[in-house]
Amino acid sequence: MVVPQGRKEYIYRKSDFQCDVMVQTKGKTEAEMLRIVSAGAPAQLIVVVAGQARRAASAQVRVEAVKIVLPGQLHGAQSLLHNTPMEYKLVALENTQLHRVSHNMVSQVLGSDLGEVVRFNEIKRVLGDIFLFKNLQNDQMERVVRSFEKCEYASGQKVVEQGEEANHFYLIQSGTIAIFRNGERLRSLLKWDYFGERGLLLQENRSATCQAEEPSVLLRLEKAVFADIVGIFRKELEHRMMLQDLKIEMSDLYVKAVVGRGSFGLVKLVYHKRDRQKYYALKCIGKKQVVQQKQEKSMLLEREINAQCYHPCIMHFITTFQDAKNVYFLTEFLGGGDLFTAIREIGNLSKRQSQFFGGCITLALEYLHGRSIMYRDLKPENVVLDFRGNAKLVDFGCCKKCLQSNTLVGTPEYFAPESIIGKGYTCAVDWWALGVMMHEFIVGPLPFGRDTDDQLQLLKEIMEVIIAMILRVFDRPSGRLRIDGACRA
């Protein structure tokens, strides 16, 4: 359940209960969820199964203890969700303070029935695990959920038939759907299983017949509606689906040249034997070096993140291979070089150039953070240009799948102050690093450590130096951003 910021205080109603005062009674008409916020040592709430026994002032509870509810724990969540009477009664064992949340109160704040809001978010969560939808922006995803049409099917009724044109995507909300091909039963699909996603993008006929085995409810999305929602992003999705369909084996690839070298191995320019005009990048990672530097978990995480991310501002990942000596990452080939080289050849970037590259990186970071991924090593070397000059984020070896961490990783010149302190940091460190990069774009040199090779001095500068800059935009043909003044405090 997502509650808008600033409105949560209207949901919680604070209440205090003394010992021997009943907090909830069985069959209470207004379903409520309880969260203890403060109490004695410790304050305890108990769920009672018999309705006649009561807690006396100085006697033990003379009923079977089903559950002890401690500070921070919940009681009655299912009743709140479904707006049903409480199944058990709850009595205070000692002076107890709690927050009371009613179904009506939450529905009023959310602007709709709580059950509908929960179902809406559940559908979003399910779609987020499906390839075709997981790369959509949040507003697109919400439009998709709102565009679903609810369809009910009787037992034995066909949903789609093999050979007919595929124009809809189906998501099973309840019931069981049997899959048949050429009259042979293949398998059954259950709640939140789906079929027909390829038909939203490609001109294909149904490869199987789908039939309800019991009364079932399906959510249906029309092809034309989906096309309207994704707009020009449809071409990107079609390209990604075609890459998925491309069954590439290591033996199908031919090496054209070596285009890069790193601490773990080489990056090779390769092409597929069936299409000599289409180039890919093959990152070769030596297993021995990975083991020696204890980077096995990091490499596995990098593969996982690469596989789940698909965004125009992130390098497209295709597949992986391995042999006795190496692990191979096959990705799209970005032939424009990295941003580190580009800004040193171009010099100070113009306003439009800075906005464009900064915008590309911002979109990539927003996408990652929306999936609870911290990048943690943002720098010009990790931003590569394609042949059209579009900037894409590469190298996910320092990423972490959470939005808070304590480990100091990355490149010192781009460290944020909170990561140096060592008391924990969030994804905000990525925005700090972007700020450092924007300084490079506009001013030229790095804002910290440019006059020293001493890393301790560098970290001290990051913690103590305040840069005061007045940025002025001149209406000149060059469109340059100029620094009117800069000083250190």
Just list the catalytic residues: 377
Span between the terminal Cα atoms of the chain, in Å: 46
- In whole angstroms, give the CA distance from residue 128 to residue 63: 45
- In whole angstroms, give the CA distance from residue 134 to residue 141: 8
Structure tokens, 411: 């490149």
DSSP-based helix, strand, coil % in the chain, nearest 5: 30, 30, 40
Handedness of CA 12, 7, 134, 189 (dihedral sign): positive
Q: What angle do CA 66, 71, 73 make, to 5 degrees?
A: 60
- In whole angstroms, give the CA distance from residue 369 to residue 66: 41
From the list 390, 367, 382, 368, the residue with the least C-alpha distance to 413 is 382
Tally of CA atoms within 13 A in the half-sphere of 55 that contains its CB: 24
Say if CB 284 and CB 328 are below 8 A apart: yes
DSSP 400: B
| Bridge partners for 13 per DSSP | 100
- In whole angstroms, give the CA distance from residue 171 to residue 212: 13
Structure tokens, 370: 């929306």
Say if CB 110 and CB 82 are below 8 A apart: no
Polymer length of the chain: 489
Q: Distance from CA of residue 422 to its chain's centroid?
A: 25
For residue 447, cis peptide bond before it (omega within 30 degrees of 0): no
User: CA of 302: how far to CAs of 270, 307, 374, in Å?
Assistant: 21, 9, 12
The residues, any chain, with a CB within 8 Å of residue 366's CB and separated by 6 or more, are none
From the list 76, 63, 61, 71, the residue with the least C-alpha distance to 28 is 76
Residue showing tokens 């790095």: 446
Q: Give backbone dihedrals phi and psi of 12, rounded to 5 degrees, phi first.
A: -80, 130
The answer to the question of whether 14 is labelled as a binding residue is no
Say if CB 48 and CB 66 are below 8 A apart: yes
Say if CB 118 and CB 81 are below 8 A apart: yes
From the list 192, 197, 225, the residue with the least C-alpha distance to 124 is 192
Binding residues for ATP: 287
Binding residues: 287
